Amino acid sequence: MLTEKIKVWLKNKDWYTEEDFNDKKKFIKVLEDLNIRKDLPIFDFFTHSTDPSYKGRLFELNNICWASVYSDYESNINMTWNILKLPKEYIPLDDFEAEGGFFYNRETGEILELEIGEKLINFLEGKLKPQWKDFNVFLEWYFKIE
């Protein structure tokens, strides 16, 4: 689950709702289909937010549920696995614009920031590890929550 500190910050931005919304069941289905457990912070975040994307540090973070329902998130996943050659446990959290982006590890909950070139090569060779241990830590950094 998200920390209370993050929930309060998101609510103040109108990016988190406790209310049901039209697409909530669809969003839950998207995350279940991606094998993301309900007890994880990322599940909490994306089933309580309805904006299509969020601005923070570096890259614009996509609402992966919104993108799956209303856009072509599948192409982002295919790019991650087939072009970048990331392991199947990684899913993209953005559109990888400017040849860089964030990736969520569905098995460990860690977040990885990569760019084409040295970072990607180092990761594929096992020399670069994910920079954030879980989604809560990542969101605090990404949104500069203090």
90-92: strand order across its sheet = 90-92, 100-105, 111-115
Q: 44-53: list long-range contacts, CB under 8 Å, 24+ apart.
A: 44/1, 44/2, 45/2, 45/10, 45/16, 45/135, 45/139, 48/10, 48/16, 48/17, 48/18, 49/10, 49/15, 49/16, 49/17, 50/17, 50/21, 50/23, 51/15
The whole-number pLDDT of residue 27 equals 96
pLDDT tens digits along 10-41: 999 999 998 888 889 999 999 999 999 999 99
The whole-number pLDDT of residue 99 equals 87
CA distance 17 to 94: 22
CA distance 116 to 140: 25
Question: Which architecture, in CATH terms, is 4-142?
Answer: 3-Layer(aba) Sandwich (3.40)
The whole-number pLDDT of residue 2 equals 97
Segment 48-68 mean pLDDT:
91
130 with 91: CB under 8 angstroms?
Answer: no
